Chain A
Amino acid sequence: AQKVTQAQTEISVVEKEDVTLDCVYETRDTTYYLFWYKQPPSGELVFLIRRNSFDEQNEISGRYSWNFQKSTSSFNFTITASQVVDSAVYFCALSEVMNAGKSTFGDGTTLTVKP
Chain B
Amino acid sequence: NAGVTQTPKFRVLKTGQSMTLLCAQDMNHEYMYWYRQDPGMGLRLIHYSVGEGTTAKGEVPDGYNVSRLKKQNFLLGLESAAPSQTSVYFCASQGLAVYYEQYFGPGTRLTVT
- Is B48's CB under 8 angstroms from A102's CB? yes
- Is A102's CB under 8 angstroms from B104's CB? no
Count chain A residues whose beta carbon lies closer than 8 angstroms to a beta carbon of B. 27
Q: Give CA–CA (A44, B35) in the complex, Å.
A: 13
* Number of A-B residue pairs with CB-CB distance less than 8 Å in the complex they form: 58
- Is A33's CB under 8 angstroms from B99's CB? yes
- Is A103's CB under 8 angstroms from B99's CB? no
Residue among B30, B43, B90 facing the most chain A CB atoms (10 A cut-off): B43
Give the interface size class of chain B: 20 to 34
Taking Cβ atoms with an 8 Å cutoff, the residues of A that contact B are 6, 9, 31-33, 35, 37, 43-47, 50, 52, 91, 93, 95-97, 100-103, 105-108
Q: Give CA–CA (A103, B97) in the complex, Å.
A: 12
Q: Give CA–CA (A102, B31) in the complex, Å.
A: 9
Tell me, yes or no, whether B102 is within 8 Å of chain A by CB: yes
Report B88 CB to chain A, min CB distance, Å: 7
| A101 in contact with B101 given A9-B40, A107-B41 (CB within 8 Å) | no
Report B3 CB to chain A, min CB distance, Å: 10
Residue among B35, B45, B98, B106 facing the most chain A CB atoms (10 A cut-off): B98
Set A32, A44, A106: member contacting B104, Cβ < 8 A: A44
- Is A97's CB under 8 angstroms from B102's CB? no
| A44 in contact with B42 given A95-B98, A101-B50, A102-B48 (CB within 8 Å) | no
Q: Give CA–CA (A80, B81) in the complex, Å.
A: 45
Q: Give CA–CA (A101, B45) in the complex, Å.
A: 12
A10's nearest neighbour on chain B, judged by CB, is B40
Set A37, A100, A106: member contacting B98, Cβ < 8 A: A100
